[in-house]
């Protein structure tokens, strides 16, 4: 049995509870009060008490000042210094070697000399230590990494910070060499230092270690204990990675799972051998989903890990290697009429301190346009002072472009990419094309923002241009409604509470009841004040089903939740919402479900999901064929899928449990990892009333042959009670690898698509009455033209009021493939709640 099957993996679930409090991370040592100071404090307070209200603020300021005025702090700065005319020696890698000690001594002297020329620095300087050396750019120089300590008044820290920053090369321009000359002095070319990150000096960090690694031979670096146990608490670890001269270090993460709060546990990567803030390439925590491949500008890279006492997660594993600096030179002349280019090393993060220039020249009579397909250049700043792309003098930066297309009204274009010395990102990919000025989009539709799109996308109800220009002035089809602003939208978005037209015309004329009246589900109208009064005024109970407070009702209805005691309560969807609504608490029983382990730190637009985003998603494999259907985890033993997935099909005996293998905790089909669990099935229970012609009752249960350990990658979704309400207009997600029952190419990474639940009356009319009451319709909201995001049998996930996710449906027919203008049809899980309970006990 291999590691993946043991199920005895790290299980942080009990730690995720968001109610767990974090340890305060303050370091108050420097502010401890002495008795003498306390007296001043009392005087201060006395003054305050006797003063008028306006003086109160002033008094507090005085108090604050007096309390802190003679507190001194030991301020530590981390820096690097370039030394010219020195060759790097292998001995410089070992801090115990006499040659290291000698050069370190010279560096310390040099620093003292530099500080002595600045009155602020000279006054407070205590001493320096050198931690490491590396090769400088170009071979004939060495870089020293050091730490300098200063003893300063609390209130003068900022002055000291400014004095230190004034030593930066940028600040020193024109003054270079002034402070450097002395007979025995080093020839210094570059001094940069910054205050140490307070998270690195926390007293609680009991273990501090550095590892030196040569990356000339590729290898693996991982957090201690990975993957069998979580990383240790309260450590500060550094991995100093060195490549051969003339090479870059490359670091590719294969796994990274840390606590979801960067103040507690985090890694950082520096383009340096010391953690100097202006050289940081990235800081990561949680379960990041951005590109996790990094490159250095020179031949060194530093990886640090800091952890705290609580919430320790699996950690990381990364591959390191080196690549020659000459490899993948970027930029150049592009002379074809059509082509593409991208930032260096895309889709890895681009290296820092890199500049590339592309020139495009087309035949004289043509113009040029560039379309960015991906554009991630770090944080946006209005003048693009950090990383940027410059097109014919226009700078672009950040990760959102106003328009993805840039055109040039000439046959020439110059594109420059520039990255500064810190904070890297994934970069960009772009296509360029020369065009005839009179016909910019041959055979395609031209958007106002110059994008060219497939003509079939014009007037289809979806905004494909990004500026909606493809949806203006349209003639609507029969299945569409006409908005006042001229747009056409699929009819099933009418009256669902969302403004799909953009001018709200799709939501007008929807209410049948007069103002001041409540619309019952059975279309009756009752006075608003009868709503939630504990009496069934609609006579279908719907006026008592959506109430804030839970009243115990005299009569139950199909819209009200029944407690185990038999009482019915008047609150909408009371189960697992974190509040006890039934007297016996049965609405909050069995709620170990529907939570996602990590919160999203950045909303991504794309269709690929994050690892761990859908821990209830299961991949069902047929032995020898691979992935064919999806399923949802209901418990450590039971899965729910579609009955049509488990029907015999000629020689294929899909109804037999032994034909199947199920994969839980899977993210990429091609890449099973430590957290992927494989199981065989013990039995399959297809719904006895499944109808292969109408797809009615398209649900089936699967029992695993042995329990799985629930963890961050494998976790049940909540089952809704029979009365749970998923109203039309509610947002939901479908997920899957996109295999269709008929075969076809699936996706490698788990895909997701946002959909909205469609009013069943409307859906029934659209789908020509093939939709029964035990089915539910949902339509895709964006994209989804090529991708087939939903798998048969997979979940339709809806987030409830408390953030827990409920299983609203099982992908059944119609359109799991998330096509536009065509609703997907799902088995309505509320209708099978009792059947599931009877068969599984869940």
Question: Which are the catalytic amino acids?
Answer: 644, 698, 792
Element (H, E) at 189: strand 188-195
What 3-state class would DSSP assign to 197? coil
Residues 241-260, mask of contacts with ligand NAG (x by CB under 6 A): -----------x-x------
DSSP output for 416-450: EEEE-SS----EEEEEEEEEBTTBSSTTSEEPTTS
Torsion angle (degrees, nearest 10) of CA 602, 607, 612, 616: 130
Q: Minimum distance between the CB of residue 696 and ligand NAG, rounded to whole angstroms?
A: 21
Contact between 377 and 398 (Cβ < 8 Å) = yes
d(CA 678, CA 659): 14
Q: Could you say which of ligand NAG, Ca ion, none residue 579 binds, taking C-beta under 5 to 8 angstroms by partner kind?
A: Ca ion
Residues 346, 349, 351, 353: is their CA dihedral positive or negative? positive
Structure tokens at 545: 């089903």
C-alpha span between 541 and 546 (Å, rounded) = 10
- Max Cα-Cα span within the chain: 99
Three-state secondary structure call for residue 749: strand
| Residue 500 lies near Ca ion (rule: CB under 5 A) | no
Buried b (16+ CB within 10 A) or exposed e, 49-81: eeeeeeeeeebeebbeeebeeeeebebebbbbb
Binding of ligand NAG by 761 (CB under 6 A): yes
Query: Which of Ca ion, ligand NAG, none is residue 815 near (CB under 5 to 8 Å by kind)?
Result: none
- Using CA atoms of 499, 505, 506, 511 in order, give the dihedral in degrees to the nearest 10: 100
Give the interface segment with Ca ion, choosing from 353-361, 462-470, 505-513, 793-801 (CB under 5 A).
462-470
Q: Does 117 bind ligand NAG (CB under 6 A)?
A: no
Q: Which of 10, 77, 462, 826 binds Ca ion (CB under 5 A)?
A: 462
Stretch that binds ligand NAG, among 109-117, 264-272, 741-749, 755-763 (CB under 6 A): 755-763
CA-closest candidate to residue 218, choices 135, 137, 318, 327: 318
* Interface residue with Ca ion, options 286, 574, 716, 720 (CB under 5 A): 574
Q: In terms of CB distance, is 172 or 321 closer to ligand NAG?
A: 321
Structure tokens given for 716 = 């049940």
Binding window for ligand NAG (CB under 6 A); candidates: 26-34, 152-160, 422-430, 754-762: 754-762
CB 124 within 8 A of CB 151: yes
Q: Are 823 and 732 in contact (CB under 8 A)?
A: no
Site mask for ligand NAG (CB under 6 A), range 596-635, x = bound:
----------------------------------------
Q: Among 226-234, 606-614, 756-764, 772-780, which window interacts with ligand NAG (CB under 6 A)?
A: 756-764
Of residues 504-563, those binding ligand NAG (CB under 6 A): 523
Question: Applying CB under 6 A, does 220 fall inside the site for ligand NAG?
Answer: yes
The least CB distance from residue 786 to ligand NAG, in Å, is: 9
Question: DSSP letters along 653-713, please?
Answer: -TTSGGGEEEEES-SBTTB--TT-EEEEEEEEEE-TT--TTT-TT--EEEEESSPPPPBTT
- Name the strand (E) or helix (H) holding 113: helix 98-116
Site for Ca ion contains 587 (CB under 5 A): yes
Binding of residue 457 to Ca ion (CB under 5 A): yes
Q: Which two tokens stand for residue 478?
A: 């029969």
Report the DSSP pairing between strands 805-813 and 795-799: antiparallel
Least distance (Å) between residue 254 CB and ligand NAG: 5
Judged by CB under 6 A, which of 636, 659, 735, 751 binds ligand NAG? Answer: 636
Identity of the residue, 311 or 820, whose beta carbon is nearer to ligand NAG in the bound complex: 820
Regarding 3 and contact with ligand NAG (CB under 6 A), the answer is no
Measured CA to CA, the distance from residue 396 to residue 368 in angstroms comes to: 17
Binding residue (CB under 6 A) for ligand NAG from 405, 495, 747, 811: 495
759 near ligand NAG, rule: CB under 6 A: yes
**8 Å CB contact between 73 and 152:** yes
The answer to whether 135 touches 147, Cβ cutoff 8 Å, is: no
* H or E, element range at 838: helix 833-840
Nearer Cβ to ligand NAG (469/759): 759
In the complex with ligand NAG, the residue whose CB is nearer, 179 or 435, is: 435
Listing DSSP states for 131-200 in one string gives EEEEE-TTSSEEEEEEEEEEEEEGGGHHHHHHHHHTTSHHHHTT-TTTTT--TT---EEEEEEEEPPGGG
- Count of residues touching Ca ion (by CB under 5 A): 10
Q: Which does 587 bind (CB under 5 to 8 A by kind): ligand NAG, Ca ion, none?
A: Ca ion
Number of residues that bind ligand NAG (CB under 6 A): 16
- Is residue 828 at the binding interface for ligand NAG, with CB under 6 A as the rule? no
- Interface of this chain with ligand NAG, residues 301 to 320, rule: CB under 6 A: 319
Q: Does 637 bind ligand NAG (CB under 6 A)?
A: yes
Contact 563, 584 (CB under 8 A): yes
- Select 457 or 608, whichever has its Cβ closest to Ca ion: 457
Which range, of 3-11, 199-207, 453-461, 715-723, touches Ca ion by CB under 5 A? 453-461
Single out the residue of 356, 434, 568, 728 in contact with ligand NAG (rule: CB under 6 A).
728
Judged by beta carbon, residue 371 or residue 573, the one nearer Ca ion is 573
- Beta carbon of residue 480, minimum distance to Ca ion (angstroms, whole number): 12
Q: Rounded to an integer, what is the distance from CA 408 to the centroid of its chain?
A: 35
* Burial of 807 from C-beta contacts in 10 A (0-12 / 13-18 / 19+): buried
Task: Pick from 454, 479, 554, 565 the residue near ligand NAG by CB under 6 A.
Answer: 454
Assign 216 to helix, strand or coil: coil
- Residue 762 binding ligand NAG, by CB under 6 A: yes
Choose the stretch contacting Ca ion; rule: CB under 5 A; options: 131-139, 158-166, 383-391, 466-474.
Answer: 466-474
Residue 1 has, within 13 A of its CA and on its CB side, a CA count of 8
Position 470 contacts Ca ion (CB under 5 A):
yes
Closer residue to ligand NAG in complex, CB, 154/842 = 842
Residues of the shown chain interacting with ligand NAG in the complex, contacts defined by CB under 6 A:
218, 220, 252, 254, 319, 454, 456, 495, 523, 636-637, 707, 728, 759, 761-762
Residues of the shown chain interacting with Ca ion in the complex, contacts defined by CB under 5 A:
457, 460, 462, 464, 470, 574, 577, 579, 581, 587
């Amino acid at each position: 049995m291999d590691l993946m099957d043991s199920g005895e993996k790290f299980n942080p679930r009990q730690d995720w509870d968001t109610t767990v409090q974090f340890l305060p991370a303050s370091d108050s040592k420097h502010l401890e009060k002495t008795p003498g100071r306390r007296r001043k404090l009392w005087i201060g307070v006395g003054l305050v008490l006797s003063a008028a209200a306006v003086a109160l603020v002033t008094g507090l300021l005085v108090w604050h000042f007096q309390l802190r005025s003679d507190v001194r702090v030991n301020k530590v700065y981390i820096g690097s210094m370039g030394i010219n005319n020195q060759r790097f020696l292998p001995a410089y890698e070992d801090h115990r070697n006499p040659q290291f000690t000698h050069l370190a001594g010279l560096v310390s002297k040099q620093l003292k000399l530099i500080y002595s020329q600045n009155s602020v620095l000279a006054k407070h300087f205590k001493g320096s230590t050198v931690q490491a050396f590396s090769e400088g750019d170009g071979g004939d120089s060495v870089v020293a990494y050091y730490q300098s300590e200063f003893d300063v008044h609390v209130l003068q820290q900022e002055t000291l910070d400014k004095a230190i920053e004034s030593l930066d090369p940028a600040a020193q321009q024109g003054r270079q060499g002034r402070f450097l000359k002395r007979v025995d002095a080093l020839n210094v070319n570059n001094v940069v230092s910054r205050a140490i990150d307070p998270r690195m000096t926390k007293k609680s960090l009991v273990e501090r270690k550095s590892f030196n690694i040569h990356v000339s031979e590729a290898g693996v670096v991982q957090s201690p204990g990975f993957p069998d146990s979580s990383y240790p608490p309260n450590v500060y670890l550094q991995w100093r990675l060195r490549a051969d001269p003339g090479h870059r270090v490359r670091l590719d993460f294969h796994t990274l799972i840390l606590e979801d709060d960067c103040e507690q546990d985090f890694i950082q990567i520096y383009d340096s051998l010391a953690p100097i803030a202006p050289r940081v390439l990235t800081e990561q925590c949680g379960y990041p989903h951005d590109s996790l491949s990094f490159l250095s500008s020179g031949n060194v890279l530093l990886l640090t890990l800091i952890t705290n006492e609580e919430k320790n997660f699996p950690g990381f594993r990364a591959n390191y290697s080196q690549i020659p600096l000459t490899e993948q030179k970027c930029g150049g002349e592009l002379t074809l009429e059509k082509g593409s280019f991208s930032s260096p090393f895309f889709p890895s993060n681009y290296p820092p301190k890199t500049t590339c220039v592309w020139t495009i020249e087309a035949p004289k009579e043509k113009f040029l346009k560039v379309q960015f397909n991906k554009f991630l250049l770090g944080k946006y700043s209005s003048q693009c002072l950090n990383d940027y792309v410059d097109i014919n003098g226009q700078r672009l930066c950040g990760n959102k472009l106003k328009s993805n297309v840039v055109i040039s009204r000439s046959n020439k274009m110059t594109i420059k990419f520039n990255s500064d010395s810190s904070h890297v990102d994934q970069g960009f990919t772009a296509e360029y094309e020369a065009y005839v000025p009179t016909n910019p989009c041959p055979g395609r539709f031209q958007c106002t923002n110059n994008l060219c799109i497939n003509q079939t996308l014009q007037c289809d109800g979806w905004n494909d241009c990004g500026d909606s220009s493809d949806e203006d002035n349209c003639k609507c089809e029969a299945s569409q409604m006409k908005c006042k602003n001229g747009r056409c939208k699929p009819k099933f978005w009418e009256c669902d509470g969302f403004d799909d037209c953009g001018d709200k015309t799709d939501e007008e004329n929807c209410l049948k009841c007069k103002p001041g009246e409540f619309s019952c589900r059975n279309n009756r109208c009752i006075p608003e004040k009868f709503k939630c009064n504990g009496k069934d005024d609609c006579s279908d109970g719907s006026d008592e089903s959506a109430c804030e407070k839970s009243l115990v009702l005299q009569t139950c209805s199909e819209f009200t939740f029944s407690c185990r005691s038999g009482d019915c309560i008047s609150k909408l969807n009371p189960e697992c919402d974190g509040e006890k609504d039934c007297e016996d608490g049965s609405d909050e029983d069995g709620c170990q479900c529907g939570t996602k382990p990590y919160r999203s730190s950045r909303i991504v637009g794309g269709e690929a999901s994050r690892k761990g985003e859908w821990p209830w998603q299961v991949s069902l494999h047929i032995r020898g064929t691979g992935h064919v259907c999806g399923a949802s985890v209901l418990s450590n033993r039971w899965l729910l899928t579609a009955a049509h997935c488990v029907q015999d099909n000629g020689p294929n005996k899909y109804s037999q449990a032994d034909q199947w293998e199920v994969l839980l905790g899977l993210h990429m089909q091609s890449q099973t990892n430590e957290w992927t669990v494989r199981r065989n099935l013990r039995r399959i229970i297809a719904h006895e009333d499944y109808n292969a012609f109408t797809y009615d009752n398209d649900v089936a249960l699967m029992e695993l042959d042995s329990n799985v350990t629930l963890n961050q990658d494998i976790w049940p979704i909540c089952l809704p009670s029979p009365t749970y309400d998923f109203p039309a207009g509610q947002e939901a997600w479908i997920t899957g690898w996109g295999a269709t029952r008929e075969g076809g190419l699936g996706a490698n990474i788990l895909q997701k698509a946002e959909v909205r639940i469609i009013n069943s009356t409307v859906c029934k009319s659209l789908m020509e009455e093939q939709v029964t009451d035990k089915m539910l319709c949902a339509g895709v909201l964006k994209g989804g033209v090529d991708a087939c995001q939903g798998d048969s049998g997979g979940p339709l996930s809806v987030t409830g009021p408390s953030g827990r996710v409920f299983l609203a449906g099982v992908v059944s027919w119609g359109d799991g493939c998330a096509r536009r203008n065509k609703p997907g049809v799902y088995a309505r899980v509320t209708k099978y709640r009792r059947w599931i309970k009877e068969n599984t006990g869940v």
